Chain A
Amino acid sequence: MRLSYFALVVLTWVFINACAGQSTNKSSYVKWTFNAGGGVHIPITKLKVGSLSDELIQYSNGGFYYQPLLSSIYWSEHWGIDIIGQFSLLQPQDRQSDRIHQYVLSNFQEDYFILNESESNRKKSSVEKILFGLCYRINKNRFQTNTKVYIGYSSFYIDWYSADLKEKDSNVYRKIDFTASERPIDAGTIAIGVSESYRFYKRFSVRADFMYAYFRSNFSISQTNKNLYTEEIIEEVHSYKRGIHSISLGLGISYDILIGK
C-alpha cells in the first residue's frame, strides 16, 4: 500500500475521531473501540495461476496476518464506522528468487549461459489491506455482535528480476528483464465481515472476526530479452486480470472507551 493512501486514511480517521470527541456532550452513545489481533487468510480464488506471474508475486495464497490497527467509533447505539489495517506475512518457503531462477534455467539454459542474476527485491510483508467501513452492532449483556461493510485497498508486491545471458558458441550477450507494470500493485477492495465480542473485564473484550474480501488485480509483467549488440528487444507481456476472493478468520482483544456516559 502506498504510504500516501495509508496516511490519507489515518488522517481522515483522526479527524473524524476528533470531531466525535467534540460532540461528546451531545451524545451518550459515542464510544471508541480499539482492537489488535491476528488470524488466517483462506483463499477462495488464488493469486497464483500457474503462469509467469506466479514466479514474481510476493505473496503466498494463504497465510497468517496480523492486524495492529482496528478502531471503531459509534455515533449511536447501533451505528458506527471503523478502520482496519491488515498485514500479511510472507511464507518462509516462498523463495521467489529461486523459483524465477528455475524458470530462467528451464527456458534459457539450452541456448544460453546465465552469467549474473539480480538479487530479489521483495519486501518482508506482502498483502496489505486498509479498509474503511460502516458497522452495525447489537449489544446483549456482555456480548456484542458487529456486522460491517468495507471499502479500501489491497496492495501486494511484484518482484523484479534481471539476468545477463551469453549465447552458446557465440559472441552475443543478452539481458533479460522481468518488470511489473506497477509496483506495488494496489487494488480496490470491498469486504463484508461480522465479529462477535465478549466483555470479560470492565472495558476489555475478546473478539472473533470473520471477513470476506474481494479485489480485482489488473497488472502486467513485461519480459524483455535484449540483444546487447544489435539492441534488438524481444518483448512478451503477460497480462494478469483476476478477481481474488478470500475469507479471513481472526481473534483479537478490544478495549472500549466510553465517552459522555
Chain B
Amino acid sequence: MKNVLRIICLLLLPIVIDSMTCCDCPDSERNQANFTYCGIELFNLDNSGRHAVIAASNSIPRAAYGMRIKVDRKKVERDDELCNRGCRSWFGTAAYATSCDCGWDTIYSPVVEIRKAKIITLNEFDTSHSAGDDITSYFHFFSGRTYNPVTDVFKKKLEETNYYDNEGLNKEIDFLLMTSPTSMTECSFQVVIELSDGRVLEAITNPVILQ
C-alpha cells in the first residue's frame, strides 16, 4: 500500500511543480505608467430631478445648480511589460500549463501635482461676491454619504494612483452649488487649475440663469 502511495505522489509531483513555477508575473512596481493633465471641459448640471443631468436649457433652479468638470488626462509613458506572459511549463507543453492571473494591470501616477484649484464667478453672484471673486467654498462634491469641499476632492479624485487600464484616464467630477444666490441671476463660472509644471488649465461654463 505504501509503495502505491509513493508512486501516486511521484506521478503528481510534476503537476505540483508546474503549478508553482509557471506563473511569472512581473512585480507591481514594474507595471507603472504616468499621466498628465491636458485640459478641462465644463458643463452646467441640472440637479432638480432624481439625478443630475447636463442642462438642456440655460435656465436651472438655483438651489439645484451644479457643474460637471471633465478632466482630460493623457498617458505620458508606459512599461509595456505587462502581465500577459505565457506560462513556462517545466514538464509539459505550455498550452496545458496553468494560466496566470496577475491581478493589477497598470498603475498610473501623475507626473505633475495640482497646486491649486478654484472656481470663480464671472458675474456678480451675491452682495459679497462680485465678478471675478473666488466662490470655491460654495461648491461641494457629494459622495453619496457626505459633502466634501472642492479643494479636497480635486486632489483626491484626480491624483489617486490606482487605475485599471480599461477604466480610461479621463475623469468627471460633479460639484453642487450649495450656497445659491438670493435672487434670480445670470451666472457663468470659471474653473482654474494650477499645475506644478507651471501650466494653468482653465474653462468657462456657458451662461446660465439661476432662477
Contacts and interface: CB of A to CB of B under 8 A. Distances in A.
A170 B147 contact: no
A238 to B, nearest CB: 26
Contact of B47 (A115, A171, A229): A171
A173 to B, nearest CB: 6
B66 A171 contact: yes
Interface in B33-56: 47-50
Given A228-B147, A229-B147, A168 B48 contact: yes
A229 B48 contact: no
Given A115-B50, A228-B147, A170 B142 contact: no
The size class of the interface chain B forms with chain A is 10 to 19
Contacts of B145: 228
Interface string A115-144: 100000000000000000000000000000
Interface in A128-162: none
B178 interface: yes
Given A228-B147, A229-B140, A171 B50 contact: no
A170 B63 contact: yes
A56 to B, nearest CB: 23
| Chain A at the B interface: SS class | loop
B191 interface: no
Contacts of A166: 50
Interface string B3-44: 000000000000000000000000000000000000000000
Interface residues of A, number: 12
Given A113-B50, A115-B50, A169 B63 contact: yes
Interface in B116-166: 140, 142, 144-147
Contact of B146 (A113, A168, A228): A228
Nearest to B61: A169
Interface in A225-260: 228-229
A42 B97 CA distance: 68
Interface string A21-60: 0000000000000000000000000000000000000000
A170 B50 CA distance: 10
B177 interface: yes
Contacts of A115: 50
B146 A169 contact: no
A173 B142 contact: yes
Contacts of A168: 48-49
Contacts of A170: 47-48, 61, 63-64
Contacts of B140: 229
Given A229-B140, A229-B178, A169 B48 contact: yes
The 8 A-B pairs of least Cβ separation, nearest first, read: A171-B176, A113-B50, A169-B48, A170-B63, A169-B61, A229-B147, A169-B64, A171-B47
Interface of A: 113, 115, 164, 166, 168-173, 228-229
Given A164-B144, A170-B48, A171-B176, 7 more contacts: A115-B50, A168-B48, A171-B63, A171-B65, A171-B66, A228-B145, A229-B178
